[in-house]
Amino acid sequence: MSSFNRGEWSEIYAILCLLICPDLAIGDSNLEVVSQNLYKLKKIKIDDAETNGIIEYSLKNKDKVEIYYNNELNNIISILELNENKNRIFNAIENAPIGNGAFEINGLDSLLVKLTKGKTIKAKSFNKEDLTALVLDKRIGKDKSLKYSIKSSLGSPATLLNSSQHTNFLYSVKGLSDSDIEEINFISTRTKLVDRIKMIRDKGGVISFEKVSDPSFEYNLRIIDSHMPHYLGNVLLESYSSENKNLKELFENSNQFEDRVFALKKLGDFLEGISFGFFPSIKWDGNKQVNGGLVIVKENGNIIILDLIYYRNEVLKYLMNETKLDSPSSTRYHMLSLYKMFDKTYFTLNLQIRYKR
């Protein structure tokens, strides 16, 4: 029997919902439906890492879905069968223990063999998209191929930017003695990062942002705006000075922008880039991998599309309102461990961004 975690079950659930209701529900930044007469779904395609091939779900008529593996017809499944199992999956996800553990759902093996060969649906490494949808755009009367990322509210909040060695930000400190450095590094309280920054300043230390440690990440941020590394460096430092993790507030308040419109434009551009365009470890060409937007599984099980084509501003508002800074492991990334190099004192902080729900 197949055993998947909440996120993996949620992706299967989202695909079933899309196939059952091909008139896609387009939402605003509050996830309220604004149109259900824009896109008609015709086909879903997944470049799947688990099966190492292309899976296609084709809606030939309103009653059946044809399933292809690498362009060969493998199965035909009725919409009725999908509908019968959709609620079973949703109820199982809702009642599963919170966490990342895998669990089984009784009676779904036959369906999963048809849909996924009994495996998880997993995007290939360094792909932002989870699925490609062929839709009829009713505004222009033409088919479009749109790539989407799936985001579910049924499990633990997902990360938008994962912490890694590539997301370290480097800072320098002036005005500390060797004994000050030793005393600061000795702090091991529950809020040690906040306490260390406070002691640096109490002892007269002056902190300055130096650079993003990884050249590729710095390059990608500078494609968005030449000052973006500095903007985010200030945000990250302020988040550990005040314990505030509200990304939108921090971005506005920790930088000197001309006005709020300018600040939110820059934040929106960054969140769009990291959501749909680039990975920190790879140099980016400035183009989006995901051109369709987000497929969102709401807490009540409804599916909403946040559309980058006609409703881009709603997507950006959603990203700004629904993301926050997260705190990765300070030990793993040696955060705020002061060290000296060539008579200068440095420390690093690590950037991680997570959805609020």
Q: Where are the domains of the chain?
A: 3-156, 165-287+313-355
Looking at residue 274, what is its pLDDT? Answer: 97
Q: What pLDDT was estimated at residue 327?
A: 87
- The pLDDT value given to residue 1: 59
**pLDDT value of residue 86:** 93
pTM: 0.94
Confidence of residue 123 (pLDDT cuts 50, 70, 90): low
Does 50 have pLDDT greater than 80? no
Q: What is the pLDDT of residues 91-100, one digit of tens each?
A: 999 888 776 6
Q: Are strands 26-27 and 72-78 parallel, antiparallel or unpaired?
A: unpaired
Nearest to 22 by CA among 64, 77, 73: 64
Whether the predicted pLDDT of 113 surpasses 70: yes
Q: Is the pLDDT of residue 51 over 90?
A: no
pLDDT at 96: 85
CA dist 122 and 19 (Å) reads 18
Mean pLDDT across the stretch 199-224? 97
Work out the pLDDT band at 2, boundaries 50, 70, 90: confident
Residue 45 pLDDT more than 90? yes
Averaged confidence pLDDT in the chain: 92
226-276 pLDDT, tens digit each: 999 999 999 999 999 887 899 999 999 999 888 899 999 999 999 999 999
Average of per-residue pLDDT across 159-172: 96
pLDDT tens track for 265-319: 999 999 999 999 999 999 999 999 999 999 999 999 999 999 999 999 999 999 9
pLDDT greater than 90 at residue 25:
yes
How much is the average pLDDT of 95-107?
A: 81
47 or 247, higher pLDDT: 247
Neighbours of 346 (CB within 10 A): 15
Inform me whether the pLDDT recorded for 216 exceeds 90.
yes
What's the pLDDT score for residue 99?
A: 67
> What are the Cα distances from residue 129, in Å, to 13, 92, 308, 319?
17, 26, 13, 16
- The confidence score (pLDDT) of residue 118 equals 65
